Amino acid sequence: MNVLVTGATGYIGSQLIQRLSLMPCQIKCLARNPDRIKEVENTEVFQGDLLSYDSLRESFKEIDVAFYLVHSMDSKNDFDSQYQDNLDKIWGKRK
């Protein structure tokens, strides 16, 4: 099974990849700053941004399960619309 974790540098994401590494799966992590992800067996790290369609397209190749663990730290933007835009990009409804 191929698993993608977004938000892998956060507390929940980092704990999740540690647990997933104990399971028979291949883990991909999408991170803006890959250096912040601790080295874990069976884990491939992609540098990217959820706001970039190209990052999403590349990281979602051959994925069976995805964990979307990202939240907005930017109070200037409307989180709901940003979240919906990300989902549209993930599922191919590119704007």
- Angstrom distance (rounded) from CA 1 to CA 72: 29
Residue 72 has pLDDT above 80, yes or no: no
pLDDT of 91: 63
pLDDT over 90 percentage in the chain: 23
pTM for this entry = 0.74
| Tens digit of each residue's pLDDT (9 = 90 or more) over 12-59 | 999 999 999 999 999 999 888 888 887 887 788 888 877 777 777 778
